[in-house]
Amino acid sequence: MSEKNPFKLFVAHEFTENAEYSRVFEYLESRDNFFYLNYSNPEAVTPSAGQEAMQDAIREQIRNVEVVIVPAGMLTNKAPLVEFEMNVAQAFDKPIVLIQPFGATMSIPKAALEVAANIVEWNDRAITDAIRQAARGEDTAQWDVIEFDMEDFKIDKD
């Protein structure tokens, strides 16, 4: 993955401003050397355009992506548009990365759990690793380096 070959992403939205939608991009932008194109466009149509216009816009936005990202917090209140986006992702055979609810305890609908390729926490590395794996099958085995101060481990031999 490089600037010349960015990941093509769709992030679930309901054609309205949403904190969960915006938060996904905050996390993606915090990762160095992670390049993506955002195909989701919550401003493509207004809800007053009607259900069919919104569904057509969603189909067009999802058609050419590699991964669909769904913040599970958006699945509350039986969000029919987000459920439709997940159905379109399945119809186009696009993997779904489900991000667990942010700072809340809520049940994720069983149907969403069953269709998700990956389910991750709100963690920039976990999200980008899940995207890499779901989109291109990239193994993202990364190691955390923990440095110890060896002075803390000196043993007196007296």
Q: Domain containing 69: what range?
A: 7-153
Listed residue (12, 8, 2) closest to 131, CA to CA: 8
Instruction: Read off the CATH number of the domain in which 128 is found.
Output: 3.40.50.9200
Distance in angstroms (rounded) separating the CA atoms of residues 75 and 115? 14
Render pLDDT for 36-64 as a digit per residue (tens, 0 to 9).
Answer: 999 999 988 887 888 899 999 999 999 99
Structure-model confidence comparison of residues 153 and 84, the more confident one: 84
Cβ atoms of 118 and 133 closer than 8 Å? yes
Number of independent structural domains in the chain: 1
* Residue 1 domain-assigned (yes or no): no
Residue in the block written with tokens 């050397």: 33
Render pLDDT for 68-120 as a digit per residue (tens, 0 to 9).
Answer: 999 988 887 667 889 999 999 999 999 999 999 877 677 888 888 899 999 99
